[in-house]
Amino acid sequence: MSPQIEIQLIAVVVAVACALPGVFLVLRRMAMLSDAISHAILLGIVLAFFITQDLSSPFLVLAATLTGVLTVTMVEMLNRTRLVKEDTAIGLVFPLLFSIGVILIARYAGKVHLDTDAVLLGELAFAPFDRLVLFGVDIGPKALYVMGGILALNLLFIVLFFKELKLATFDAQLAASLGFAPGVIHYSLMTLVSVTAVGAFEAVGSILVVALVIGPPATAYLLVDSVLGMLLLSSGVGLLAAISGYWSAHLFDVSIAGSMATMVGIIFFLTLLLAPQRGLIALARRRKKQQIDFSLEMLLVHLLNHEGMPEEEQECRIAHLPDHLHWEGQLIERVIKKGEREKLLQRAGAFLKLTEKGRKKAESSLTR
């Protein structure tokens, strides 16, 4: 298998593994916890390295995972004091743990391959050079097997506890009353996020971990309503960002991890703009339509109120409406045309008249 294909496979596996737990973080409005975890685990990696003096030791993964869980616990303990809110607690805890890790690297680990640039950005291009050899046989990049195992673990957890995860995400109190132990589910999910962040850390760095955990689920959230749909779509978005990011980096000769993070951002903002139901363009169109619909209803009521009255000739004159209703001329013209299309009113020279259908609609509006 060529290094190009291996890098893309690792990128796809990392992206999907990060997106799956990220769906529940986004739904729980805890997206920034992934940022805190992905940075704070550095301290666990550094401390474990000082003990083992081996960058490939599994104790680094264990220590980093425990640090991630410690981060979540410290954030929640601060939040429960009610003296600081959750976002403030995150802003206090993770810079503290991360900065201690950075200081320890700079002070005591300057001669080993554990520099801050690699920590922040990672280097996916180097992943194929770290091979997994069993019984003298090279079976592929180690990162592919590590992240493949983490992806399988995430999938297994979500499949086995899908119902419990959904219930604890949307109504933790109901989950507790039904005996589902939402606290255990919560910390299990946070442990999975920590393990995923640790696994992806070396390949893509802490910044891209955050992008892949949050970006694809946030994109899927704009397009679908079901949790299952979000899981599938966020995996697809992660795959698309991984492949397009790799080829963008290849084309412009830039960082692969940085290109993947950029593609995640581009896909999200395009979706934010163009999503059929929740996109900004769709939202603007819906608001415009609601304004026209509401204005037409007001006009029908206005015409009904003055129908058959002595002032009807004055109040129902088209030229009088801008002053009386305080509408712009273009808005009045659009409202009248919509009323004519729906056969709710009709022009009678310089005046407007209700049709029978328009009269019933105006009466219905008054009695609602």
Alpha-helical regions (H) of the chain: 3-27, 31-52, 58-80, 86-108, 116-121, 142-160, 162-170, 172-177, 182-221, 227-252, 256-274, 280-306, 312-315, 321-325, 329-341, 356-367
Q: Is 253 a domain residue?
A: no
Domain boundary, last residue among 169, 203, 218: 218
Q: Average pLDDT, stretch 73-90?
A: 85
What residues form DSSP beta bridges with 346? 353
Are 306 and 214 contained in the same domain?
A: no
CATH code of the domain covering residue 334: 1.10.10.10
Contact yes or no for 279/271 (Cβ under 8 A): yes
Q: Give the range with max mean pLDDT: 265-274, 298-307, 313-322.
A: 265-274
Q: What is the pLDDT of residues 14-52, one digit of tens each?
A: 999 999 999 999 998 888 887 788 888 888 888 888 888
Q: Let me know whether 40 and 184 are in one domain.
A: yes
Task: Please check whether residue 50 lies inside any domain of the structure.
Answer: yes
Q: Which residue, among 166, 191, 208, has the nearest Cα to 19 in the 3D structure?
A: 208
* Number of domains forming the structure of the chain: 2
Q: Which residue has the tokens 């009807």?
A: 312
Domain with 303 in it: 284-367
* 144-184 pLDDT tens trace: 898 999 999 999 999 999 998 999 888 888 888 888 888 88
H or E segment to which residue 139 belongs: strand 137-141
